[in-house]
Structure 1
Amino acid sequence: MARVVVVGAGMGGLAAAARLAATEHRVTVLEQSGTYGGKLGELRRDGFAFDTGPSLLTLPRVYRDLFAETGGDLDAAVEVVPVEPTCHYRFADGSEVDLPHDPAAVPGALEAAFGAGAGREWAELMADAARLWELVGESVLQRPLNGVGDLVRRSASVRDLWALAPWRTLRAVGRRLSDPRARMLLDRYATYSGSDPRRLPGLMTVVPYVEQRYGGWYVRGGLRRLGDALFAHCRGLGVRFEFGARVTAVRAAGGGVTLAGGAVVPADVVVSDADARHLYGHLLTDRRARAPRRALARAVPSLSGFVLLLALRGRSPRPYHHRVLFPADYDAEFDALFGPDPRPVPDPTVYVCSPDDPTVAPEGHEAWFVLVNAPRQGQVDWTAPGVAEGYADRVLDVLAERGHDVRDRLLWREVRTPADWERDTGSVGGALYGSSSNGARAALLRPANRSPVPGLYLVGGSAHPGGGLPLVAMSAKIAADLIGPA
């Protein structure tokens, strides 16, 4: 029985703790904050409840497998329900389209909204994405990856490598779509990894493919319930938790970790769910950490997010669980975020999550989570007087300009900025997705799950295979398999 310390109680850390405890390791999770879940946060106030992090679950089977393989039952713990439609999109010209939960119905919806040929073009693009998913879904995303050599060895043929075509961007792939609104819809999936579609590899068409092939899902009561269920499952497996425990150093192999104040927690194995930049840049002095430290210095953190949590009186005449309101000039948003002078986007894309769930708002009211992409703290000083509140007013104005004026319905609002994400999660500048996937190396070659320091492993959104609820759980399985049973 090995002594395992997991640094961080995000979803990747919880998933790793469950898997390791189920194989007879003695597991302690150290979390610097007062709660678990990482970015899967929640705010409750006056009968309203808001998920403050992810609001859509894709690939729920990853969590079903996690529970089943560690002696639990996800569906006995939470209610996972389909979101229908998966998302409602509105464009600057006033046109709209609903993407249905059923993947077979998506081409028809696009055909009806965008005109003849739009559905066929999208279906052809998704057919190619299905082939890419076959190439990367198991062999890359669900196994350890240690550099370009691994990627080349796992490609069965030159044809496979050609299909991956890392030199093509998502924007270049999108030129196959005749309607500019369809291209805009495709570009949006770059933001799922905090990236720029003009630099994101085209193989990331697997993101819309997965969402449409396997559907978008919601956990009744809010996605935070998924975190609650996994935390309770870990406790049932004997995992020990310490909150308010800030790790200041990860020691050499077998040395455990040092806490603020100087106490040492011994460990045979350390699993880090901390941001990889923080781990390699601040917690490790071992000389074997130099190579990943240099690689991370070259990587660009992902964009962040500016969030409004809106408690609204009354009900919307056309409620949607997810809606996206596009600007007229989408490229102007990416210029503002990824250009030489990052700044808050004057006319941003606005994402709204408003679950039709009686448990998240008082009867007859709505809880809206509103997100716009934003530069990281440091690129913009979100703590400067008036910056956050002024931009919050601007986002409400944009909502009104796009047909959703909720200002007269507003009971109260909470504002979350990149500075808040940095403080609460330890991510660099509040980067929501670890490193961006701008460029083939950034997209596929995140820090490895087995570090060059013996006994140290990485999980979570900043490590392979990347950010998002399904991927961080995959990272936990990879790390647990590398460590092996007790």
Structure 2
Amino acid sequence: MEGTDALSRVVVVGAGFGGLSVAARLAARGHRVEVFEQGPEVGGKLGWFSRDGFSFDTGPSLLTLPAVQRDLFLKTGAPIEEVLDVVPLDPVAHYRFGDGTELDLPGGGLPAVAAALDDALGAGTGAQWTAFQRRAARIWDVAREPFLESALEGPRTLVRLARSTSDVRTVAPWASLRGLGRTYLQDPRLRTLLDRYATYSGSDPAKAPAALATVPFVEQAFGAWYVRGGLHRLAQAVADRAVENGARIRTGTPVARVLEAGGRASGLRLQDGTEVAADVVVSAVDAARLYRDLLPRPRLQPKRRLRSSSGFVLLLALDGRTPGLRHHTVLFPPDYDAEFADLAAGRPVADPTVYVSAPDDPALRPDEHSEAWFVLVNAPVHDPAGGTDWRDAGLVERYAATVLETMARRGLDVRDRVRWSEVRTPADLEHLTGSDGGAIYGTASNGARSAFLRPANRSPVPGLFLVGGSSHPGGGLPLVGLSARIVTDLVGGAD
């Protein structure tokens, strides 16, 4: 049972990265684990699409904080390097700012980043960014163990951060990421670069807490990494590791209800009516969906939280090669604030930032004369009742053309090279992954409460736990991996 060394029957709802990670960890501890996934494949948002020899990761395109994944594989059987080819990215990304300035952001550590900034943006910009990163490093040191690596315990989690007055001043829970940045960064392009990191959690930099300064710090201090063959291989490798440790994974098996008996979670009812008994239930689906749809006690549903942004995606199968193309390219608009205003209003962004992921990986293209591009722009969630209805075919067609035109204006015109394209909208993401409205990260980290007090890993129902990007400590592969580690420790069992 939870919190002891006794071994349990554990059922996991959802085979996204969080569900697979917790299944592998719990199975390695000796628990009897069974995973139920509604879709035909594992991976969740670590999706994959192939056609005519072109292949695309449809979710994350890089790994940060690789120590989290290394720990997962070591604790479940063998080092990650024995099953995956994980390679550092250098440069991590190519940025084109609204004024036409271009920057290759290196992957060689913080001193290399400072030197690149001085070269691209002018002398002194590296020193500004370094001063900011020193503050971010202090925030990381203060918040990492008591918050990111520990279970959420409501307001007591924030109290853990208040071990000293200096710690509180360091984290500055009253400040926004943008506000903190402007204390250190005078160059407007540095401010734009920092604002971009708020979108890693689907948030608004003017509202996201200063603690998100740790996002660029982690990426630049510990590096960014790619899995050759695509990041979907990471999900498959974790699924394989879970099975090797005795877990069973059942795809195409939707869950209808979390069962309760004697005041605690007691198993699942599947959509076909089958009931599966369990000592422990781990939900790896969107927290909003769990509390709204899967629990028999709606009163447990937490207060409605602001959903993170979603994404509008083009998968482009291109003829020809692009000289000098980087793994990641980010094309900023002249007015970045207008993008966040459109998102807050629930409307498609008129002049969006365009993100292109185009790994130079032979596994993703049919030949050496082709390229597979994943193109993403931030988008409001699917909300036909009060916002944008992404099932409107006319809107989707017009907006896809807008994205291509925007790319062309900013120097990446591929319209005459498109062999075929595939569009993924927030409505598609909601359908494929069960995320509320297609919110990529579940809850937006806008404000200290949203960032630090996400849905807890231990639910109000004894024996029911939450893992994944919509619960503590947050979205993105490293935090989801930490979520799985936290839940594993809460459930307990032999190592």
TM-score range, shorter chain: over 0.9
Cα distance in 2 for residues equivalent to 1:50 and 1:447: 31
Q: Which amino acid aligns with 1:265?
A: V
Alignment of 1:5-404 (within 5 A): 5-103=11-109, 104-175=111-182, 176-252=184-260, 253-286=264-297, 290=300, 293-295=301-303, 297=304, 299-339=305-345, 342-362=346-366, 363-378=368-383, 379-404=387-412
Q: Which of 458, 467, 490 is residue 459 of structure 1 equivalent to?
A: 467
What residue is the counterpart of 1:439 in the other structure? 447
8 Å CA contact 1:269, 1:456 repeated in 2:
yes
Structure 1 position 154, deviation (Å): 4.2
Letter in structure 2 aligned against 1:164: V
The one-letter code of the counterpart of 1:116 is A
CA distance in 2, matches of 1:310, 1:54: 17
CA distance in 2, matches of 1:327, 1:56: 23
Unaligned runs of 5+ in 1: none
**2:45 partner SS:** coil
1:383 and 1:472 map into 2 onto residues whose CA distance is 29
8 Å Cα contact 2:430/2:438 also seen in 1: yes
**Cα deviation per residue 1:274-295 (whole Å; 9 max; x = unaligned)?**
10001111111237x62xx233
SS of aligned partner of 2:376: strand
Tell me the distance in 1 between the aligned counterparts of 2:474 and 2:92: 22
TM superposition score normalised by structure 1: 0.97
Letter paired with 1:10: G
Tell me which amino acid in the other structure corresponds to 2:294.
L
3-state secondary structure, aligned to 1:256: strand
Letter paired with 1:166: P
Q: Which amino acid letter does the alignment assign opposite residue 415 of structure 1?
A: V
CA drift at 1:254: 4.5
| Identity among equivalent pairs (%) | 57
* Distance of 1:116 and 1:54 partners within structure 2: 33
User: Is the Cα contact below 8 Å between 2:151 and 2:456 reproduced in 1?
Assistant: yes
Q: Distance in 2 between matches of 1:197 and 1:87?
A: 20
Distance (whole Å) between structure 2 residues aligned to residue 318 and residue 71 of structure 1: 40
Determine if contact 1:135/1:155 at 8 Å carries over to the other structure: no
**Aligned residue number for residue 3 of structure 2:** none
TM-score, normalised by the number of residues in structure 2: 0.95
Please list the CA deviations of residues 364-414 of structure 1 after superposition, one character each: whole Å capped at 9, or x if unmatched: 211000000001101211111311111111100001000010011110000
Q: Assess if the C-alpha contact under 8 Å between 2:320 and 2:417 holds in 1.
A: yes
Cα RMSD of the aligned pairs, angstroms, is 1.1
Q: Which residue type is aligned with residue 273 of structure 2?
A: G
Matched residue SS, 1:308: strand
Cα deviation code 1:74-128 (max 9, x no counterpart): 1110000011101110012211011100122101111112212211010000001
For residues 254 and 171 of structure 1, the distance between their equivalents in structure 2, rounded to whole angstroms, comes to 42
Q: For structure 2, list consecutive stretches of 5 or more residues without a partner in the other structure.
A: 1-6
